[in-house]
Structures are given as C-alpha cells and as structure tokens.
Homo-oligomer: A and B are copies of this chain.
Amino acid sequence: MFKKILVANRGEIALRVMRTCREMGIETIAIFSEADRTAPHVLFADEAYLIGSAPSSESYLRYDKILDVAKIAKADAIHPGYGFLSENTGFAKQVTEAGIVFIGPPAEAIKTMGDKTMARQSMLQTNVPVVPGTEEPINDIKEALQIAKDIGFPVLIKAAGGGGGKGMRIVEFAEEFSDAVSRAQRESQSAFGDGRVYIEKYLEEPHHIEFQILADQHGNIIHLNERECSIQRRYQKVIEESPSPFINVELREKMGQAAVETARSCNYFGAGTVEFLVDKYKNFYFLEMNTRLQVEHPVTEMITGTDLVAEQVRIADGQVLSIKQEEVTISGHAVECRIYAEDAAQDFTPSTGKIIMLQIPNGTGTRFDGAIRQGMEITPYYDPLLGKLICWAKDRDSALNRSERALREFYIGGIETTIQFCRSVIRHPVFREGPYDTHFYNLYKDELHAELTTFTEEVLMVAGGTLHHHQNQTKHSSQTTGSTKPSRSSWVTSQQRRQDK
C-alpha cells in the first residue's frame, strides 16, 4: 500500500480525501497557493508545499510544479480530487511516466470519456442510448447553427472539457445562438483551460440521474445505485439525493447495467459516474461520464456504507474490489445540500468576506464535508463551494426532516450562503412530493425566493430590536469596535436592494 499520497486539490474535496488517507495509515501531502497558506487542507495535511500565486492557472493547474513537489516529498501516488487536473489526460500521463500512481482511471479512458464529444461517439458503438447532438466540438458556427436547427431548439451548449455547469448555455432561439456559443467558449476556456463546446438536444421534463460505478484493474465492475441530481440552478446541482424518488427497481436495474456497460466499453477502472437524462416516460439517455469522484459522492456512501475514496485508493493499489454487485444494498435515504458562498436573493452572486461566526450542524445521521473555519477569509479566487451537508435517515421523509433541522442549526455569519435557499427547496411541497424534474428551480423560483424575503412580525421585531440594541451598544463603546462608522443613511442601501431585484 502507498505510504504517501499527494492531494492535488484544495477546499472540501482535499480534506475529504486526506481524511480517508489518514484512516488508511497513509501520509498526506497538501499543495497550496499563496491565497491558501492557512486554508483547512494545509492545516490538516502532514506536509504542505507552496506551489504558486493565487490564480489557479499559476498554482493548482500548474502540473509541472505539482510533479516537482510529488518528487521532492516522495509521494507514491497523487489523488486529483474533482475539478482542476482531475480530468486532464496530460497530467495523468505525466504522473504515471514519473513512476507515481495516478489515483484515477487510465489516461485513455479519461481521454475518451472526459471529452464529451468523444464519449458520445464512443457510446454510439454500444447499446446505451445517447441524447441527440453534435459529435464534434463546434468549429464552424454556421454549420453548428444548422445542426442546432436540425435537432430543433431549445438546444444546450456544453463544455467539452469539464462539467459542473460551467460553460453551459441553453439557447431557445436561433438568433441568440452564436453569441451564446462564444460566451460558453470563453467561460469553458477560463474554467478548464479548454474552450471547446458542443450542442445537445434539450429534453423536456428531464431528470438528471447518475450512477456511481467502481471498477478494479481485474475487470470487475459494479454500480452503487443512482443519485438524483435534478435540483439545479444555473445548470449547477444544489441538492442531490439517493435513492431517486423518481425511478423504480426495474429502471434502476436497467440503468445500472447501462452504467456498467459504459465503463466496460472504455476499459475503465477506478471510481466514475455515468450521467443520464431520464424523460417523463422513463426513457433514459447517456449524457456523459465523469472520470473522477463527484461532488455529490457522499450520498452514495451513506446509503451503501462504502468509503468511495478508500475504494479508489485500493483500486489504484491494484487490489480487487472489496464488494460484489449482489452485496450492494440500499440502506435508508441520504440527501446532500451544497453550501455555496453565494447570495441566493441576488441571483446567486458569489459572496466573499470573513466568516465571523460559524456553527456547523451535527448529531445523528448528520455529516458535513467542508473546509471552513471561524475567522477564515473567503477569497474570490476559487469555486464558492464551502461544503456539503449530508443527512441520512431511515426513509426519505425523515432524511428531509433531518436536513431541515440541520440547515436551521447551520450558522455562517459574515458572508452570504445558500443555506436558506436549500431550506426553501426542502420545505417546498413539490420537492417533498418526490418526482421533481430539472425544471423545478425555474418553475418555483419565485416561491423559493419569496420565502427568502418574507418574514413574520416576530422575526422583524427580533431583527429590528437587536439592530437597535447593537447600534446603542457600539455607540456607547466606540473604542472597542473599529467599525463605528458614521451611521450611513439606512435607506440608501435598502433602496438599492429593491432596485436590484
């Protein structure tokens, strides 16, 4: 087994991976940018190395520097986490060539599946159904427009080089098409260092449902059930759950087999996720395969009792899978809420600043995978994901009640977060009911946001009264706080806020 693993990432996923490494008796090596000197992953690791300045392109994406650290620190293996270099074929190759184990699939599988257009082409050779769309990245904008018209609007523009909703655009009218393509290309270039985008048919009432797979280097491939990921805003997942309230045992069986077939078709090993779109008639289409750990992997861990990172490490070490398909069961129900540093009421604008007070929920069936600490500064350089709250219980209803309790208990003071937004979703009757689709957010946006801006008289009295008390206190002890700025006219901001809506 490996003695030392370098985690080529930051934030909550770096911490997540290191926790398992430490439990396995493996030393952990962190890398960090100048902005992250005191970030939680640095504090947690056994060793930590500075690799460059704040922008990712100068640090977390610099694989030459990361390889140098791996050699100096004598790492046996590198875990890439998700994002950054996790789906970069060049990086995987160079790591392997340096005699270091890359904890992920073979470079060839990353190349085939990591590139969405190649993946589609490859899947057309199998029995797994695929969503209609372009098979090559867009080169000629006129040709692409013609294809879009053939498929029929609305169409989706998606990044070939990465996932997570970045570089993604939905286009409803032909005249918006070319502008949307160029913006998607720019965003995709900035997020993944790869500006290629492609077009896909936009299915109606689709459910985004994905399957977790595990494959060892000896040809054993299993799936660990699905994750329902249809709660999205800005094409980015916010709340995921497992099992899905939409699919049934037969469909799970069929889709699970398709996921395993997908993995087998590209000689996959490691952990991976096969994403499907399922329409309202329960037809499913292959969407893409993510050749890495997903943000939402914990819900699968909670209902199956597996540690997916431990499995990744064991697979990379050449071991045989520790479980067989028939041993994989569904025990209870798990829900993940993503906590972003964003102002939901202001169209999810990223929020930066200092966390002045932090209270993380805990208790039975309550897990938080995060990387935050009281007093910590949230900088504008990286993804605004602060962490994920995962709640498990015996059944879906209890898991949602637990999530609501935990979200209420969660307190992050000093920056805006999606905590309240997640609460609004979880309280919404359509979400409670179960078989929601990816349109949920757009359909109920107004109701969700109304809940964020409408308050009871009791709450307003508490807010107003405490504000008064606070102003009174700071007035009387002006030397203790540095912020006794002359009482700025209270209603200017308030006006501005109303007009921002």
Contacts and interface: CB of A to CB of B under 8 A. Distances in A.
Interface string A348-360: 0000000000111
Contacts of A408: 22
Given A331-B305, A360-B360, A374-B374, A23 B367 contact: no
Given A16-B363, A363-B369, A405 B331 contact: no
Interface string A382-399: 000000000001100010
A368 B362 CA distance: 6
Interface size class of A (residues with CB under 8 A): 35 or more
Interface in A16-34: 16, 19-20, 22-25
A364 interface: yes
Given A331-B331, A369-B363, A401 B44 contact: no
B364 A298 contact: yes
Contacts of A25: 401
B374 A363 contact: no
A305 B333 CA distance: 11
A301 interface: yes
Interface in A302-350: 305, 307, 331-332
A370 interface: yes
Interface string A463-496: 0000000000000000000000000000000000
A304 to B, nearest CB: 11
Nearest to A362: B368
A366 B363 contact: no
A349 to B, nearest CB: 28
Nearest to A368: B362
A404 B24 CA distance: 11
A457 B394 CA distance: 49
A444 B196 CA distance: 64
Given A44-B409, A398-B23, A409-B44, A301 B362 contact: no
Nearest to A322: B394
Given A305-B332, A331-B305, A331-B331, A24 B362 contact: no
Interface string A48-75: 0000000000000000000000000000
Interface in A280-302: 298, 301
Contacts of A404: 23
Given A22-B408, A23-B405, A364-B367, 14 more contacts: A19-B363, A22-B405, A23-B401, A23-B402, A25-B401, A44-B409, A305-B332, A307-B393, A331-B331, A360-B360, A360-B362, A362-B367, A362-B369, A374-B374
